[in-house]
Amino acid sequence: MRVVILTTPDAQPLDVAGPHEVFALAERKLRELGRENGGGYDVRVVTMGTSRYVTGRLGLSIVAKGSYKTVTGDIDTLLVVGGMEPWSVHGKPAVLNWIRRKASKVRRLAGVCTGAFVLAEAGLLDGRRATTHWYFCQQLASRYSKVKVDAEPIFVADGNIYTCAGVTSGMDLALAFVEEDFGADVAVRIARAYVMFLRRPGGQSQFSAPMSFNASSQSSMNRLQVWILDHLADNLTVERLAAQAKMSPRHFARVFARDFQMTPGEYLDRVRVEAARKRLEDTDETVDQIAASVGLGTASTMRRAFLRLLDITPADYRARFRLRQSGESG
């Protein structure tokens, strides 16, 4: 099956290389299982511009096969990878028209990380549920009002169109495609080879609090976010938050919902769970101690919050994601 990875010149290399490696390893794992005629993937990386180089901001570069204009023949799966300036796709009708034409013919179309912006600009996400990296979710929702943006999952499927949060979640999405095409036995072998979960615990959540999506560092909401982090253990009522933001409670609630697409209470729950999970990873504190320190009160309240937001208990989260074991240094 032919996979084409179409990438912007400023994409992060891991968004490109991660899915590529998952697809590329499938043929070897099929042979290990005695399925020599089981197929595999023919993977090709092409760019949206004339340059073959894909250069991320941290200095690592990938050399693509060529421009999208060199692609001929049928495509089974098309992955569109965005860059760190997702709005730069504006004013590039040729590549958008090419994606629209291919979209009607491919079996699967996917936007990796800010590739969702490219698909949205092409009108392919109108009326569909989609996601992107949590940092860009609010921009995606505000720029493309017809897209039903969900900031929670690491990837979303709506019909034959997929979007994902990018970075390592691009590998999760590619692994899901492998499982769909060749079965769990092949996918499990690839997951083991790359030390991945076949399916991540935590309800496939991005495991990240919605911090500072696109607010100016001088904005009242941005300053409030920083203040909240310093006062998580306090009783943070809407009235207190509004006073800190120098707004009336009613006006504050409206502005907050507009800027963050959630209520202040929902936001506080997410930020507190984020802070708690970091403490579970990094410290030896008990769940009761952590719950009190981040404003979740008791261990039972924290457990309910984790199950509601991450679909995993604090104990299970610590067992799977802890960075060091008790008694170890480093």
Is the pLDDT at 58 greater than 70, yes or no? yes
Question: What is the predicted pLDDT for the residue at 221?
Answer: 79
Which residues have a Cβ under 8 Å from the Cβ of 145 and sit 6 or more positions away?
none
Structure-token match 């050399």, residue found: 63
Q: Taking 80 as the threshold, does the pLDDT of residue 287 lie above it?
A: yes
Residue 182: exposure state from Cβ atoms within 10 A (0-12, 13-18, ≥19): buried
**Fold topology of 2-193:** Rossmann fold (3.40.50)
* CB 178 within 8 Å of CB 190: yes
Residues pairing with 153 in the sheet: 205
Partnered with residue 108 across adjacent β-strands are 77
Q: Identify residue 118 by its one-letter amino acid code.
A: V
Common-topology check for domains 2-193 and 220-321: no
Q: Which amino acid is at 132?
A: T
- Between vectors from CA 253 to CA 246 and to CA 116, what angle results, nearest 5°? 115
**CA 36 to the chain's CA centroid:** 34
Q: Does domain 220-321 have CATH number 3.40.1350.10?
A: no
Q: Please say whether the beta carbons of 99 and 121 come within 8 A.
A: no
Angstrom distances, CA of residue 319 to CA of 144, 153, 322, 323:
39, 22, 6, 10
For residue 271, pLDDT beyond 80? yes
Instruction: Of 274, 225, 268, 269, give the one whose Cα is nearest residue 245.
Output: 225
Q: What is the pLDDT of residue 225?
A: 82
Please name the residues in contact with 111: beta carbons below 8 A apart, sequence gap of 6 or more: 79, 80, 82, 117, 118, 119, 125, 130, 132, 161, 162, 163, 164
The pLDDT tens digits of the residues spanning 181-220 come to: 999 889 989 988 998 876 665 444 555 544 443 333 446 7
- Given a cut of 60, is residue 323 above it in pLDDT? no
Interval 208-262: pLDDT, tens = 544 443 333 446 777 788 789 889 999 999 999 999 999 999 999 999 988 877 8
> So where are the chain's domains?
2-193, 220-321
